[in-house]
């Protein structure tokens, strides 16, 4: 009876022998097809240290081994070969890739570890070019500006695609384009992304360029798409500060809530700076900072989402009194980017005046500095905030 091969870490495996034994988690699995070798099962495996390696099971071994590989399960794999990893669209940065043999044996592991072993990439580093496009990446962000799904003719076949942007917690944005089944999955969350918050995790995503700009896309079936994953990074992104306002015109008053990325172009200061690191609510009007009290008495026009049974309106767009679009929940603020974009989101304008509403077509581009105080007698359609402002940390 031969001796049991000792366990090795993935960092230690090398091509000089095939008698290796590793304990790994199946992170991802998909079917690939090659005209020369036929179908194969491709996988990404990770050990307890988070080291990942690409593994391949050729078609002739699929009947024997396929049932052993279920995503999320830990396995002990013995006897396999290793060869240099090279080329584009590599799923891991391991210098070798694993290939199974007819002698490969697979058994269950006792490890209980639910880590996804993510390697999330920073938006700033990607935008400034600090990345190697040979490797696929993990990226997490809020899905915004989700367009309609399109059907294109590519090589005589119909292919579906959808374009959108991912936004990180610092409001940096990266353009994305997903194809095929991934486009269909994103399309199913389009309405939720327009009127709510959808956190999107793209694993093993491809870094490319479109018309000279950075663009993220799926790499055929080797990518993964996860919505609202249960991880701390997603919770942090989903949580946001929000600003409560009470506003009125000559017909009545209404309660509004502005998420931080909607509020800060109006206030002029981001929530993190206002709260100075604190997560406590500011409820006492006497403790409100000047940047908040200064908006009292100013006039704005709000585009809001109306939900049945909800008395507080969620603000999606803000215009100044000159019809300048200051900020749109699905596009970049003028003060932040220098341009205004209209996302086409379905919102209601709370102007309380048909005459005023008729003027609310595509807003002209004007500086944010055009926001001014207007006396009470100037218009019947303005919304004038009371001094009733509360900043709080929003939980998911």
CATH 2.40.50.140-classified regions of the chain: 21-108, 123-237
Residue 150 has what pLDDT?
96
Residue 57 backbone dihedrals phi, psi, to 5 degrees: -120, 110
- Cβ atoms within 10 A of the Cβ of 273, count? 12
Residue 359 has what pLDDT?
35
SS3 content of the chain, % helix, strand, coil (to 5): 20, 40, 40
pLDDT (average), residues 70-96:
96
- Give the residue, 285 or 174, on which the prediction is more confident: 174
Q: For the segment 334-364, what is each residue's pLDDT rounded down to a tens digit?
A: 444 333 333 333 344 443 333 333 333 333 3
Residue 356 has what pLDDT?
34
Cα–Cα dist 334/195, whole Å = 21
Question: Mean pLDDT of all residues in the chain?
Answer: 81
What does the angle CA 166 – CA 147 – CA 343 come to, to the nearest 5 degrees? 85
Is residue 64 pLDDT above 70, yes or no?
A: yes
Is residue 328 pLDDT above 90, yes or no?
A: no
Q: CATH fold of 123-237, please?
A: OB fold (Dihydrolipoamide Acetyltransferase, E2P) (2.40.50)
Residue 387 has what pLDDT?
47
Q: Report the predicted TM-score, pTM, of the whole model to 2 decimal places.
A: 0.71
Return the sign of the alpha-carbon dihedral for residues 83, 89, 95, 98. Answer: negative
Is residue 260 pLDDT above 90, yes or no?
A: no
CA dihedral of 170, 173, 176, 181, whole degrees rounded to 10: 30
> What proportion of the chain, given as a percentage, has pLDDT over 70?
80
pLDDT (average), residues 313-324:
80
Residue 58 has what pLDDT?
95
CATH number attached to the domain at 21-108: 2.40.50.140
User: Which of 144-148, 244-248, 327-331, 359-363 shows the highest mean pLDDT?
Assistant: 144-148
Residue 330 has what pLDDT?
61
């Amino acid at each position: 009876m031969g001796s049991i091969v000792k366990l090795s870490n993935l960092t230690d495996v090398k091509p000089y022998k095939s008698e290796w034994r590793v304990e790994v988690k199946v992170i991802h699995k998909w079917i690939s097809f090659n005209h020369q070798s036929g179908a194969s099962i491709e996988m990404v495996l990770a050990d307890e240290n988070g080291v990942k390696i690409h593994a391949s099971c050729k078609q002739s071994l699929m009947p024997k081994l396929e049932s052993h590989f279920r995503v999320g399960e830990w396995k002990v794999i013995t006897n396999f070969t290793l060869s240099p990893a090279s080329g584009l669209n590599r799923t891991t940065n391991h210098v070798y890739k694993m290939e199974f043999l007819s002698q490969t044996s697979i058994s269950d592991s006792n490890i209980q570890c639910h880590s996804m072993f993510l390697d999330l990439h920073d938006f700033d580093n990607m935008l400034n070019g600090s990345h190697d496009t040979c490797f696929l990446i993990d990226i997490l962000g809020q899905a915004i500006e989700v367009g309609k799904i399109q059907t294109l003719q590519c090589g005589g076949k119909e292919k579906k695609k959808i374009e959108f942007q991912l936004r990180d917690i610092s409001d940096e944005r990266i353009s994305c384009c997903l194809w095929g089944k991934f486009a269909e999955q994103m399309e199913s969350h389009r309405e939720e992304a327009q009127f709510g918050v959808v956190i999107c995790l793209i694993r093993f995503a491809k870094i490319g360029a479109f018309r000279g700009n950075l663009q993220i896309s799926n790499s055929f079936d080797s990518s993964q798409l996860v919505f609202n994953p249960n991880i701390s990074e997603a919770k942090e992104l989903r949580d946001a500060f929000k600003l409560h306002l009470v506003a009125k015109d000559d017909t009545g008053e209404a309660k509004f809530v502005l998420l931080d990325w909607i509020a800060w172009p109006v206030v002029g200061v981001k929530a993190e700076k206002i709260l100075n690191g604190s997560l406590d609510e500011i409820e006492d009007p006497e403790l409100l900072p000047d940047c908040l009290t200064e908006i009292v008495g100013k006039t704005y026009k709000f585009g809001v989402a109306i939900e049945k049974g909800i008395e507080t309106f969620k603000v999606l767009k803000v215009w100044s009194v000159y019809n300048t679009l200051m900020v749109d929940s699905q596009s970049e603020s003028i003060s932040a980017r220098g341009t205004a974009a209209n996302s086409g989101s379905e919102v209601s304008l709370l102007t309380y005046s048909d005459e005023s509403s008729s003027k609310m077509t595509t807003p002209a581009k004007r500086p944010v500095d055009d926001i001014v105080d207007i006396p009470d007698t100037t218009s019947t359609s303005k919304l004038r905030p009371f001094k009733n402002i509360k900043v709080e940390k929003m939980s998911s």
